[in-house]
Amino acid sequence: MMSKSLFSFSIVLLCLVCFTTELDAQKRGSKKRESKETTSDKSRSSRDRDGDKEVIPFSDRIIYDIHIGQLGFNRGFTISAKGGAAYKITDRFSVGLGLKNFYYLENNPGSNSDISVFNWGPYIYPRFKISEQFYIKAEYYYISFDNDLFNSGNSDRIYEGIPLIGAGYLSGFGPWKFGLELLFIPSDSDRDLYYGDVFEYMFSFIYNF
């Protein structure tokens, strides 16, 4: 689009100059209208070729996850938390990376010391959005496991990869959604690293789902 041109008219005594300026202004206005019509036609043609595709900003493709769960008070106190960020490859499919932590505290009144362990590790996860409320998800968790619970006095840690698979439910309005996530631990040996749990359950807080 051509920029507007401003013309200053001369005083009455310079009528010839004024007349010439007005003619020039009319020519420029005609060219400007033709240029605008050509640009508009090109824009419409470009939109038709691109199928009216909308460019989604990078920030709108990021999903933020916060999960808290595995709460227990049976043999001792347990709590787990994980957080991650996923990139929307499509509107329904995303892949993310996060960090998971697990804390266990066992009180031993008849012993001189309590047992306290802290497990942690990164995890990756693909997730598929079935609807606005439901999704399916897989995780691969690389755990740094505190072996002190099973081998008293042995502080050596175990490093193990654990696959999980499951689903989640979310509800809410706006960018924040709240719900529950349930992941199945297929391997018996991996369940030992979860202290016998068959499922990992988490209360979920997800942004931009």
Confidence tier at 5 by pLDDT (50, 70, 90): very low
Which residue type is seen at 54? E
Closest to 95 measured CA to CA, from 131, 53, 123: 123
- Encode burial over 153-178: b for 16+ CB neighbours within 10 A, e otherwise: eeeeeeebebebebbbebeeeeeebe
Residues in the chain: 209
Q: What is the pLDDT of residues 107-159, one digit of tens each?
A: 766 666 677 889 999 999 999 999 999 999 999 999 999 876 555 555 678 89
Closest to 115 measured CA to CA, from 157, 160, 75, 159: 75
Q: What is the pLDDT of residues 15-55, one digit of tens each?
A: 433 444 454 445 455 544 555 555 555 555 555 455 556 78
Question: Encoding tokens for residue 1?
Answer: 């689009």
Q: Which neighbouring-strand residues pair with 171?
A: 178
CA–CA gap between residue 175 and residue 62 (Å, rounded): 12
| pLDDT recorded at residue 6 | 34
Which residue type is seen at 15? C
**What distances in angstroms separate CA 1 from CA 5, 43, 57, 104, one per listed residue?**
12, 12, 26, 67
Q: What average pLDDT does this structure show over 172-185? A: 95
Work out the burial of residue 205: count CB atoms within 10 Å of its CB; fewer than 13 is exposed, 13-18 middle, 19 or more buried.
Answer: middle
| pLDDT recorded at residue 156 | 78
Instruction: State the residue for tokens 């990021």.
Output: 62
